[in-house]
Amino acid sequence: MANIQQVAKTAGVSVATVSRVLNKATSVTPETRLKVEQAIKALNYEPSMLGRNLRNSESRLLLVLIPSISNPFYTEIINGIQNIAIANHYNILLCETDSNPERENIYFHMVKNKVADGVISMDPTVNMQKLNELAENHSVILCSEYEEGGCIPYVTIDNELAAYHAVKHLIQLGMDQVALINSDEKFLYARQRRNGYERALKEFQLPIREEWIYNTDQLDFQHGVQAMRRLLQLEERPTAVFAVSDTLAIGALKELNTSGLRVPEEIAVVGFDKISFSNMTNPTLTTVSQPMYQMGCTAATMLINQIKGNKVESIILEHELIIRESTMG
Amino acid sequence: MANIQQVAKTAGVSVATVSRVLNKATSVTPETRLKVEQAIKALNYEPSMLGRNLRNSESRLLLVLIPSISNPFYTEIINGIQNIAIANHYNILLCETDSNPERENIYFHMVKNKVADGVISMDPTVNMQKLNELAENHSVILCSEYEEGGCIPYVTIDNELAAYHAVKHLIQLGMDQVALINSDEKFLYARQRRNGYERALKEFQLPIREEWIYNTDQLDFQHGVQAMRRLLQLEERPTAVFAVSDTLAIGALKELNTSGLRVPEEIAVVGFDKISFSNMTNPTLTTVSQPMYQMGCTAATMLINQIKGNKVESIILEHELIIRESTMG
DNA sequence: CTGAAAGCGCTAACAA
DNA sequence: TTGTTAGCGCTTTCAG
């Protein structure tokens, strides 16, 4: 790989002039420019990001932290982030943390070292203390999951309200025995959605029964299957289930299917996220739609603004209840 | 962020000594080491990757190119890559290309510039010419999709044989009217799988009917729905369907469900990839299992070997037909 | 065992 | 308009 020196030599100019041509900045005569461009072509030269970044303290790279790419929830968000990034001449690098603090550290390190200009974290298990530390001197945005009262700007939805709407929908359908399949309540969104669930029950003077609340430690299908199986073993079965993710809800649906129970006649099911597969199940799944693409766009816009040195405010976006067959008689 | 100079000053030593402590290499007296370590702690210093990489021409970062994270097929592969990478003190960066040549270029650029040490491409739409160019001077491995007769090492399965097995399974079940839902045949794997399909038909003296071969230009659920809908409109309906991806097969299953056709009694379905969803459908999906985790591990091992300067050979891994409800009466 | 200094590739201030 | 040069943060020879 040729460097700027060799280009300068070939073109018979100084490195500064080559740099000027490269950055289209200050004035260069057309003839000089031509000479340089020819040299660049001849040597097949491409400027080194490393040298440039070291000099400029800028990489135009954005990091996106996700716990796992296997959760389809992130797909559309990343799409949004990517589009906004590209439009602003940034590129994104996806970092799968597997909720592993060591991996996280490496990525934080990249930001500290200007290998990347900023980071959007979507990992609910992220080490908040480390992230806050990072945020003191660097650009950080939280997407979807956030810290209450924290100082890192975030974009999210009102999880409590969304859960409330979902459960209220079930109750208004006449289901007064609503179970909750929640994830681990160490996550803020899980606590918020539980609050929404309880609020709806209280509003209709229904009892909150601990045995109808099941917490899973992961969000995959199998855990949904497990959870439903447990709920079906109870003496008094629920007549409706609200699961805090579509993946869990789909697992639950699968188990109901296996047990020969009819959905929604015998048990109604609501999920959360509106992943694409939720429309492929039988019956199709009623779910809470988060504006994922818009969330991604918003997060990216916020991050880029922050990198520019602007102060950015947290944003709460609207959700929507998508009613489909799993709650439609 | 403190730099090495400040650490040296604080510790009362030279930058060279700090560097020695950092790299645990040459001998430093315990006292000097201690002084330096204290200074590092006091200043909360972390070495700059940029400076280090520029100097060493090494980043210990690996790029993984995928067309889209929404395809669950990649999940396990990436897991394998990640684990091997970590074990060898590398980190991976996921690059979603959206099959967009410009994005690809940016990532290639990162490799050329030593921002990353090598790349594993899983993008079937990758610009092979550019990739070959890159491979002349840099480490590149192809995973899953590859170039016949090309010079970039790859890891893959025998797609032709796998398709042959899948279709033969359907025929041996008594289905002599087997349709194929294929992706665009500009992709090598699509051509290979079609060959396998045709080979199985020929072996049983069944005619190859063009109207039973449907090519989609994307691999998502909706395109599977579309494809199945078309096949069901034919005068003579197929009695079995082989789809080249589980996502397509699941879409097909959905459409069959909608049409009230029983699977597998009236139409049997086989997919490809064994994504986690494929076990959540009703009926569960018979599918061809690629050893995805192992593919990832192999690809990463090959790449790291190549970076070390070793010559690496392409590898073809074994597949397996997973028989489930969609072909079990 | 430790320090001084060169240099990785680039940009920008300053000079000409 | 163009060239010279310092310096971004680091590692590594070469001296001492």
Structural domain containing residue A268: 159-290
Contact A303, A139 (CB under 8 A): yes
Contact A240, A201 (CB under 8 A): no
Element spanning A139, H or E: strand A139-143
Instruction: Label residue B58 by pLDDT band (50, 70, 90).
Output: confident
For the question of whether the overall pTM of this predicted structure is more than 0.75, the answer is yes
Quick check: A165 pLDDT over 90? yes
Contact B92, B68 (CB under 8 A): no
- Percent above pLDDT 70 for chain A: 100
- Long-range interactions of B102-110: CB distance < 8 A, separation 24+: B103/A86, B103/A91, B104/B65, B104/B130, B105/B130, B106/A91, B107/B63, B107/B65, B108/B134, B109/A46, B109/A49, B110/A49, B110/B63
Mean pLDDT of A299-313: 94
The shortest CB-CB distance from B50 to any of A50, A86, A96 is to A50
Mean pLDDT over the full length of chain A: 93
The per-residue pLDDT for A29 is 92
Examine residue B124 and state whether it is found in any structural domain, yes or no: yes
For residue A149, the Cα-to-chain-centroid distance in whole angstroms is 20
Q: Are residues B122 and B137 in the same domain?
A: yes
What are the phi and psi torsion angles at B272 (to 5°)? -155, 125
Mean pLDDT of A51-60: 87
Mean pLDDT over the full length of chain B: 93
A95 interface with B at CB cutoff 8 Å: yes
Cβ contacts of residue B45 below 8 Å, gap of 6+?
B1, B2, B3, B4, B6, B7, B39
The per-residue pLDDT for B66 is 93
Examine residue B52 and state whether it is found in any structural domain, yes or no: no
A–B CB contacts, 8 A cutoff, strictly below: 115
Give me the residue label for tokens 């002039």: A17
Q: Are residues A147 and A168 in the same domain?
A: no
In A69-108, which positions are buried (b, 16+ CB within 10 angstroms) versus exposed (e)?
A: bbbbbbbbbbbbbbebbbebebbbbbbbbbbeeebbebbb
Q: Are residues A235 and A305 in the same domain?
A: no
Q: Are residues A144 and A190 in the same domain?
A: no
SS3 at position A216? strand
Q: Are residues B70 and B151 in the same domain?
A: yes
Quick check: B218 pLDDT over 80? yes
Q: Are residues A72 and A151 in the same domain?
A: yes
Contact B92, B82 (CB under 8 A): yes
The per-residue pLDDT for A2 is 86
Examine residue A163 and state whether it is found in any structural domain, yes or no: yes
Give me the residue label for tokens 């962020």: B1
- Altogether, the residues listed in chain B come to a count of 329
> Cα dihedral sign for B215, B217, B221, B225?
negative
The answer for A 188-207 residues in CB contact with B (under 8 A) is none
Query: CATH number of the domain that A11 lies in?
Result: 1.10.260.40
A137 interface with B at CB cutoff 8 Å: yes
Q: Which of residues 14-43 of A touch strand D (CB under 7 A)?
A: 14-17, 20, 26-29, 31-33
CB atoms within 10 A of CB A258: 13
The model's pLDDT over A109-139, given as tens digits with 9 standing for 90+, comes to: 888 878 899 999 999 999 999 999 999 889 9
Closest CA to B144 of B290, B45, B251, B32: B290
The per-residue pLDDT for A197 is 98
Q: Are residues A193 and A136 in the same domain?
A: no
Closest CA to A101 of A72, A55, A67: A67
Mean pLDDT of B194-206: 98
- What separation in angstroms does the CA of A18 have from each of A57, A322, B109? 20, 57, 19
Instruction: Label residue A57 by pLDDT band (50, 70, 90).
Output: confident
A72: chain B residues, CB-CB within 8 Å: 70, 72
Q: Measuring from the CA of residue A2 to each C1', which nucleotide is nearest?
A: C9
Query: CATH number of the domain that A238 lies in?
Result: 3.40.50.2300
> Total structural domains in chain B?
3
SS3 at position B86? helix
Q: Are residues B271 and B128 in the same domain?
A: no
Instruction: Check whether residue A48 has its CB closer than 7 Å to nucleic acid strand C.
Output: yes
Query: Which positions on chain C have an atom < 7 Å from some protein CB?
Result: 1-13
Examine residue B324 and state whether it is found in any structural domain, yes or no: no
Q: Are residues B143 and B177 in the same domain?
A: no
Instruction: Check whether residue A247 has its CB closer than 7 Å to nucleic acid strand D.
Output: no
Element spanning B208, H or E: none
Cα–Cα dist B90/B92, whole Å = 7
Per the CB < 8 Å rule, is A279 touching B221? yes
B115: chain A residues, CB-CB within 8 Å: 49-50, 115
